[in-house]
Structure 1
Amino acid sequence: MRDYIFVSHEMGKFLKKKRKAKKLKQEDLSEDGIISTGTISNLEKGGVRVSKEKLEYLCKSLGTSFNDLLRYETKNKRDRENNSELQLMRIEHDLAMDNLNEGWEELKRMFLEKDDPHMVNLYFLKGKYYEKKMKWDLAQVNYLEAIHYIDQRPHLLTTNIKAMCYNGLGRIYTQLNNVDQALIYLEEGQNSFVANGERKHVYFHLLISKVIYLEKLHRYNEALLILEEMWEQIHQIDSTEIKLNMYQMRAAILNKLQLYDHAIKFAMEGIKKAWIDIMYDRSFELWSTLAESYNKKGWLEDAEKCFQTALQMENKVARKHIIPPTYTKLGLLYLEQGKIKQAHGKLEEAVRRAEKTNDVFTLIEAFLGLGESHLKQGIKAKAKRYLENAFDLASEHNLHFKKSEILIRLITCCKKDYPESYQKYVDEFLKVHLELREEGGREIMNYLDQMNTTQVQLGDPPPNE
């Protein structure tokens, strides 16, 4: 049985260089009929398999040996690996620093053999590039290609690139407003993480992402448990970004649990750490969270100052999608203070910005605020329209815990002037309530229990958020 050898592109270049040095044509080497010009041409291009016998013959005809060719390939492969690692590191750095054009040009110049283990890095970085460009479909394709590549080569699991890809898929599905699917991907990421492998920081990225997604789904106790787990390991976390994110999320969740003094403590600690490292994005979020704490305590002037401090950093914030929620919250604060015109301005600005970033959660809150504002002024037609906008979005994205809240407001709005709509929304509220009781829907039932403890009646206006 013949032995077959894979001839790489670099080996092909080596053979061609030897032939050129001897000033031979391909036809000169095929005169005796042992090897054809077609085979020689393919070998010089590389990426083909050929019998060891023919390759040894060609090497001898070129004045070199088969062993010389293998030694050249081994050295070249080692050099290629070193060059590839450096090049991939540079590309990853460019993408992390948002030098997207430079990173993409480098990616296009990279050439790797199909079985080169660095191919997984290439798929991952393409996914990262497309994610940054908000081309979600292409990002998903490349992240999934990387995962598939590793599944076929289990020894690459220790790179933890598979876990990073799942984290990337989670981010994408959050942008697509499918937080439940994002959580599923994070679970896959945690399951594929190798503790003694490379990129150990990925583990904490997965955990903080999980906290953020659970908070979005109002699963506050679960999120807090993960944060407490992270706090026990905080000395192992190198990333200042993650540490600040922990402070911000802990304060935000404590606000939701009405533990405002504890929330203020964590927000203030985070703010001090953020200004040491001049981290504008985290500072922005922490000041906004602190404002919420003061607002809930009834310290409205302090809350307003904190929101304004956050918005003063707006031009220095890199992740623009974190800005719209602060406009919403400041608008709601102005509404509570009776500053209707200012409230409308901030809430309408929140809608404009959230529509650009496809931020459904912020859009719903802004529409709710505008509905509440017009309801207070007795402009029920506009109030109804804004509340229906919020309800349509919550329905489209299966945000059941928000649907119930919006329905209560719609029922209040429609009770006297829109009897048909009133009955429709009462029926819808009962339907949502009953369906979720049958399904054992944890999040919405917790939410409804909270609503019951504040004695909200269907005919009364709901409390301000």
Structure 2
Amino acid sequence: MKEYIYIHAELGKQIRLARKKKNLRQEDLADDLISTGTISKIECGSHHIGKEKLRYLCDKLEIGFDSLLHTDEQHEQQQLNDQIVMMGIEMKGTIDPELSWEEIRTLKYTKDDHRICNVTYLRGRYYEYKKKWDYARLNYQQCIALLDQHKELHSTNLASICYYALGRTYYLDNQVEEALQHTIAAEQCFHPSGDKAHMIHFFQIAKAIYLERLNVTEEAYVIINELWEQKEQIDSSEVLLNLYEVRARLFNRMEHYDKAIECALVGIEKAKYNYAYDRLCELWTVLGDGLTKKSMWSDAEYAYGCSLQLESKLKKKQPIVVANTKLGLLHLKQGNITEAEEVLKRAVSLASSTTDAMDYVEALIIYGECQYVQKKCLKAIEWWEKALKIAEDKALSKHKRRILMQLANVCANYDKKKYQFYIDKFLRISVQLETSKQ
């Protein structure tokens, strides 16, 4: 049986250098047994070739075939070592960023060494763990630029992973539009036959999450449906649980409440067995949303209560902010004003120490509504104006329009000057939003 040898980029580079030392062109080596095209593929790497054909080329170049293979074996061992070290550093970053930083600083590579790409990516991860978004982005962007100089690394899909990471930093920094654009870029430069083929599912679910947050329901639903059909091939529990949550959330948006409830219940079971507490909290909240829409208020209150009972298990406060806000809104619908105010006050307090501007603004809006229901109009204005400032700072246009409408409505009876001011701003933002759709 014919034996084949895989020619990686580094091995191909050695063969090319050996040819150039002899001042030979590829055409000078070609004959009836080996073509110019085959020699070109060998030198470029990422190519399989018969063992005897490679030996024949080595003889022509006067390269020791066995020593070449030994060098190749050493190269593979070095690659394995590099892979283990890089994975270890990334893992340590999830435990304690400073652990990873200590090790990153020991890695000294020049720009000509392809390993500098991985080191630069890991620097980006460190700064992302530290929530230093600008530094994280700078390193991810530098890694992408370095990869352009190391064409042999294109099949690693590291560029796609950097774009995906860039999107994540923008999302965590409340810039959802930017997050979406970088995630689209991650998909566009992804090589399906390259390394880490499973990452495409991470890109797709992230894209669906960002679209859903931007209220682009139809596009998000198309992506979720495509992923749903592939769910048996998805290895990542993180992607799968996100899939159930976003699918249930979209069903609620489309008023398919029974489907939303069914999807959320299955997701809750899966999240429970995976001890995925953050996702479990969010799924209970989505279930509560569906039950609220069906006017199953006691069941909805129970679902939101289950979300809140997970607080001590969560890595972040944001899911608890949402659950409190939704529960407060439910109490308002039921006319339980005292309970609503207590829960919403806690939602606002928690949200003020999180980085999610959208959820903070939502909590402020609902808390303002709670004041308005109690005829505390000046208090309502105070909370809505605070929400408006954050919405303007973070360019949350749709939230801004909603707040301006509420402010104009309440100011109509209290302050005609403010009423006109808010009406004018409302009209301007409405025109901008309509123009952006065209």
Q: TM bucket by the smaller chain?
A: 0.7 to 0.9
- Partner residue, 2:82: 84
- Partner residue, 1:217: 214
- Partner residue, 1:441: 437
Q: In the alignment, is the contact (CA less than 8 A) between 2:187 and 2:200 conserved in 1?
A: yes
- Partner residue, 2:165: 168
Q: Which moved more, 1:395-404 or 1:271-280?
A: 395-404
Q: Which moved more, 1:83-92 or 1:305-314?
A: 83-92
Q: How do 1:27-106 and structure 2 match up within 5 A?
A: 80-95=78-93, 97-106=94-103
Please report how far the alpha carbon of residue 393 of structure 1 lies from its aligned counterpart in structure 2 after TM superposition: 2.1
Distance 1:345 1:416 in 2: 27
- Partner residue, 1:375: 372
Please report how far the alpha carbon of residue 397 of structure 1 lies from its aligned counterpart in structure 2 after TM superposition: 2.5
Distance 2:327 2:290 in 1: 13
1:207 paired to 2:199: no
Distance 1:247 1:81 in 2: 37
1:139 paired to 2:136: yes
**Secondary structure of 1:177's match?**
coil
**Secondary structure of 1:323's match?**
helix
Please report how far the alpha carbon of residue 153 of structure 1 lies from its aligned counterpart in structure 2 after TM superposition: 1.7
Please report how far the alpha carbon of residue 264 of structure 1 lies from its aligned counterpart in structure 2 after TM superposition: 0.3
Distance 2:121 2:233 in 1: 25
Q: How do 1:325-344 and structure 2 match up within 5 A?
A: 325-344=322-341
Q: In the alignment, is the contact (CA less than 8 A) between 1:321 and 1:359 conserved in 2?
A: yes
> Unaligned regions of 5+ residues in structure 2, if any?
1-63
Per-residue CA distance 1:379-430 (angstroms, 9 max, x = gap): 1111011111222222233322222222221122112122221222222222
Please report how far the alpha carbon of residue 94 of structure 1 lies from its aligned counterpart in structure 2 after TM superposition: 2.4
- Partner residue, 2:346: 349
- Partner residue, 2:107: 110
- Partner residue, 2:20: none
Q: In the alignment, is the contact (CA less than 8 A) between 1:126 and 1:142 conserved in 2?
A: yes
Distance 1:377 1:320, change over 3 A: closer
CA RMSD of aligned residues (A): 2.2
Equivalent position to 1:298, from 279, 284, 295: 295
| Structure 2 residue identity aligned to 1:355 | S
Q: In the alignment, is the contact (CA less than 8 A) between 2:307 and 2:320 conserved in 1?
A: no
Q: How do 1:172-191 and structure 2 match up within 5 A?
A: 172-191=169-188
Please report how far the alpha carbon of residue 76 of structure 1 lies from its aligned counterpart in structure 2 after TM superposition: 6.9
Q: In the alignment, is the contact (CA less than 8 A) between 1:350 and 1:362 conserved in 2?
A: no
Distance 1:82 1:405 in 2: 55
Distance 1:312 1:246 in 2: 23
> Unaligned regions of 5+ residues in structure 1, if any?
1-66, 443-465
Distance 1:370 1:236 in 2: 43
Q: How do 1:181-260 and structure 2 match up within 5 A?
A: 181-260=178-257
Distance 2:188 2:368 in 1: 44
Distance 2:432 2:109 in 1: 54
Q: In the alignment, is the contact (CA less than 8 A) between 2:211 and 2:217 conserved in 1?
A: yes
Q: Provide the TM-score with structure 1 as the length reference.
A: 0.75
Per-residue CA distance 1:166-194 (angstroms, 9 max, x = gap): 11111111122111111111111111111
| Structure 2 residue identity aligned to 1:88 | M
1:392 paired to 2:409: no
Aligned residues: 372
Q: In the alignment, is the contact (CA less than 8 A) between 2:321 and 2:363 conserved in 1?
A: no
| Structure 1 residue identity aligned to 2:226 | E
**Secondary structure of 1:88's match?**
helix
**Secondary structure of 2:352's match?**
helix
